[in-house]
Structure 1
Amino acid sequence: MSYITAKEAAERWGISLRYVQRLLLEQRIPGARKYQRSWLVPADADKPEDLRKREKLGAPRTVYLPYRTPVPLMTQLYAVPGRMDLIAEKQQPNNELAALCGCQLSYFRGEIETAQKKAGALYADASCLDAKLGALFVLSSCAVYSGAVRQWNKLEAALAGMRAASAQDQSYIAFCRAGIWSKLWDTTHFPDWLRGGCFDPLPGESYPLARFYYLKFLLLTKIRETPKSDFTAAAEPLISQTKLEGIVISEAYLRLLAAIAYHSDGNDKAALVHIERALALLLPDRLYMPLAECSRALDFLLLRALRTVDRTAYECVVSLNKRMMEGWTLLHNAVLQRNATNVWTVREREIVKLAVRGLTNKQIAERLRISVNTVKQRLGVAMEKVNVKKRKDLARFF
């Protein structure tokens, strides 16, 4: 298929470039795609219907943000580590986009109370679907951090009440629901197309976030499979593509998921490569929450790496992770009727995870480079803490 530029399309159709750009943002030119920061239009595309005529007659029009994703900071909007503070300021002509970037920045920095207030105000005042969904994303993350069951239920009710103006909006809302529920490690809300790694139903700006949730779905559904070669085979090219596009937070999240998979398979050397790159992306702007979210799944590995490069960041991530896992456990158990526990130490949890996957005490000792007696002792203490007699019964506490 041959393509022309947005400017060439405007000249061919006899309309302004600004209006063509609006058509592209609203996904109203079939087959159009974004390459880096420019749009490409199919050379044989027909001129879309002029909705401005409808507007003059008073017909309602759905308004979208310039970046159609619930997390605009996970797009090329933020492409250079260390320059996050400039992002919201540059979006001031679009107040809702600026407000959404502001509350997301507060969350990524672990300023939960501030993020909660900003997102609540944005949701109440927002006039468009994108801003409301973005605010719900931040509020759901704050609910996980705080273990706020009532707030979570209200958010789910608000999400269920969202009205779609098009088939794409319907897919977009379903995608947001899947992402929000995956914060509790629940994959039941993932639509079939996202489970299969297809992002076509979504606006192009949502692809970097969709990569993250697709890989998260794969990781959660294959968490006890060893080795995770299918997951890493999918992850590595998506990481490379995201790196090429310069999408900082998305790349960091994808690398942390890859690190979890490698660590789970006992390949800590490969895991550390991704951890170190994620730290280089996140620390310049003090974006600590992605690290806090993934810290438990990486046992000691992430915190040891972090402590060597930034002691202040290490202390912040430890504190954020402790509070967040308390909230997550409370919310996860209440909403999903599960029995996840927060009573084990890092070492106990590390040993229990391997035991649940079927490793013997000797294999666990070799993997963790500790004695068999230490494995037996720590495993016994962990079982006593949750009052079980058999190793297989430990699985229900994750």
Structure 2
Amino acid sequence: MKEYLSTREAAEKWGISERRVNQYCAEERIPGAQRFGTSWAIPASAEKPSDPRKKNHHTQTLARKSLKRDKLYPDFMPLISTAFKPGKCRETISKIPAGPKKDIALAEYYYFSGQAAKAMRKAELYLTNSEVPYRLSACFIYAYACLSMGQITHARYALNEIKKTLSQEEEQIPRIRAIEAFVASASAVLLHLPLPNEMPPLEEVLPQLPPGLRAFALYVQAHYLYLKEDYNRSIGIVEATLAMDGEKYPISAIYLHLVAVMDYMSLREREKAEYHMLEAWKKAQKDDLIEGLGEHHGLLGGMLEAVIKPISPEDFKRIIDITYRFSSGWRRVHNPITGHDVADDLSTTEFAVAMLTARGWTHQEIAEHMNISANTVKSYIMQVKKKLNVKNRKELKKYMLL
């Protein structure tokens, strides 16, 4: 086998000019090349050197692309990502310069304060925005606002846009991929739908998210564990997140406290559930961020009726209005996809009583918890069974969020 190649042979082998081969040799970029007069002997095993100009251009292009995306990164769901003081939500938004970031923050505020129509209009402006953080923020907000407004076709469109974005770019920087994974998993978990097939592990996603959004992502994970009936692990995530600065981010903290209520009610630890219910309410009330309470009503085991209704009956009515609007849209997406038949013709109180009954609570326990008589509980159960055409607790379970 030939040990050395001439510059001409090397040029033919590598598909470049002899002049370029000579230049590589002169720059000592070919290990083992030896000079003989005006020519070079090149080891036959030598590999073609990379072109530094192309490498530098590629590096610079990636750097510019990364810089551009990193610059946009804080603009994804900016209100969730902000550690504002409770009661200062609108003031915080007013300080954001006019533009897309402010519009997205306003859309968030409208949504989380139960103003779904306003959230839809504001988010709709960015559904096809060329910048991934704006587009995904808008789709996420728009989908849930549409559910509350009964615009199911529009909600499905936004959810599909989220799925499409997940697979659009082959070479995504980790942070953009983390944002897309966050939106996809949150959309699935909050609608109680199967998770997307291609999802990066949680430990890869969390470090790429800012603290406020990371806290909300951990709420999503805790909610997911709740759905798996792994209540203790779910509570562990909630308590750890709240202890590690999660309380600084009001929107995320509200949702974390709510999933803790769900967990503790499932474990029949009512006092701990009440504590978290009141903590969620303290943060929500100061900025009117009541949407989450309405969304989670069916999972809170009558805690809104037991705790919030006595201390703030007018706010309770507004929360229940949100529950009716959101749950109607939620079921119209959830039921057809999963094949589950979550009840859609019960009042919120009937649903709360039915949930506790399906979990094995006695009439007396439900009565004491919800501050009503045992006979009233019995009356509610009779109405529920009649509406759903069921005879016992076992049959009742399939209509509940269990």
How much has 1:288 moved relative to structure 2? 1.6
Structure 1 Cα separation of the partners of residues 260 and 187 of structure 2:
20
How much has 1:255 moved relative to structure 2? 0.8
The equivalences for 1:9-158 within 5 A come to: 54=60, 63-64=69-70, 67-68=73-74, 70-75=76-81, 77-92=82-97, 95-124=99-128, 126-158=129-161
User: Given the superposition, is the C-alpha separation of residues 365 and 290 from structure 1 closer, same or farther in structure 2, using an over 3 Å criterion?
Assistant: closer
The equivalences for 1:1-398 within 5 A come to: 54=60, 63-64=69-70, 67-68=73-74, 70-75=76-81, 77-92=82-97, 95-124=99-128, 126-162=129-165, 163-164=168-169, 165-166=171-172, 168=174, 169-189=176-196, 191=199, 193-194=201-202, 199-200=205-206, 202-205=208-211, 206-222=213-229, 228-243=231-246, 246-358=248-360, 377-398=379-400
Per the alignment, residue 6 of structure 1 pairs with: none
User: Given the superposition, is the C-alpha separation of residues 220 and 300 from structure 1 closer, same or farther in structure 2, using an over 3 Å criterion?
Assistant: same
Per-residue CA deviation, residues 126-169 of structure 1 (Å, 9 max, x unaligned), is 33111111001101111221333311331233123212342523
TM-score by length of 1: 0.74
How much has 1:254 moved relative to structure 2? 0.5
Runs of at least 5 residues in structure 1 that lack an aligned partner in the other structure: 1-48
Per-residue CA deviation, residues 44-82 of structure 1 (Å, 9 max, x unaligned), is xxxxx998984599989753555547432122x242011
Counterpart residue identity of residue 119, structure 1:
A
User: Given the superposition, is the C-alpha separation of residues 161 and 229 from structure 1 closer, same or farther in structure 2, using an over 3 Å criterion?
Assistant: closer
How much has 1:107 moved relative to structure 2? 0.8
User: Residues 351 and 364 of structure 1 are in contact (CA less than 8 Å); yes or no, is this contact kept in structure 2?
Assistant: yes
Per-residue CA deviation, residues 318-337 of structure 1 (Å, 9 max, x unaligned), is 22222222222223223433
User: Given the superposition, is the C-alpha separation of residues 361 and 277 from structure 1 closer, same or farther in structure 2, using an over 3 Å criterion?
Assistant: closer
User: Residues 306 and 371 of structure 2 are in contact (CA less than 8 Å); yes or no, is this contact kept in structure 1?
Assistant: no
User: Residues 65 and 131 of structure 1 are in contact (CA less than 8 Å); yes or no, is this contact kept in structure 2?
Assistant: no
Counterpart residue identity of residue 203, structure 1:
L
User: Residues 69 and 203 of structure 1 are in contact (CA less than 8 Å); yes or no, is this contact kept in structure 2?
Assistant: no
User: Residues 286 and 313 of structure 1 are in contact (CA less than 8 Å); yes or no, is this contact kept in structure 2?
Assistant: no
How much has 1:184 moved relative to structure 2? 1.4
User: Given the superposition, is the C-alpha separation of residues 102 and 345 from structure 1 closer, same or farther in structure 2, using an over 3 Å criterion?
Assistant: closer
Structure 2 Cα separation of the partners of residues 51 and 308 of structure 1:
66
User: Residues 116 and 142 of structure 1 are in contact (CA less than 8 Å); yes or no, is this contact kept in structure 2?
Assistant: yes
User: Given the superposition, is the C-alpha separation of residues 235 and 61 from structure 1 closer, same or farther in structure 2, using an over 3 Å criterion?
Assistant: closer
User: Given the superposition, is the C-alpha separation of residues 148 and 64 from structure 1 closer, same or farther in structure 2, using an over 3 Å criterion?
Assistant: farther
Structure 2 Cα separation of the partners of residues 167 and 276 of structure 1:
40
What is the root-mean-square deviation in Å for CA atoms of aligned residues? 3.3
State percent identity of aligned pairs: 20
Larger Rg: 2
User: Residues 179 and 213 of structure 1 are in contact (CA less than 8 Å); yes or no, is this contact kept in structure 2?
Assistant: yes
How much has 1:315 moved relative to structure 2? 2.9
User: Residues 259 and 298 of structure 1 are in contact (CA less than 8 Å); yes or no, is this contact kept in structure 2?
Assistant: yes
Per the alignment, residue 37 of structure 2 pairs with: none
How much has 1:355 moved relative to structure 2? 3.8
Runs of at least 5 residues in structure 2 that lack an aligned partner in the other structure: 1-54
User: Given the superposition, is the C-alpha separation of residues 135 and 233 from structure 1 closer, same or farther in structure 2, using an over 3 Å criterion?
Assistant: same
Structure 2 Cα separation of the partners of residues 59 and 324 of structure 1:
39
User: Residues 232 and 258 of structure 1 are in contact (CA less than 8 Å); yes or no, is this contact kept in structure 2?
Assistant: yes
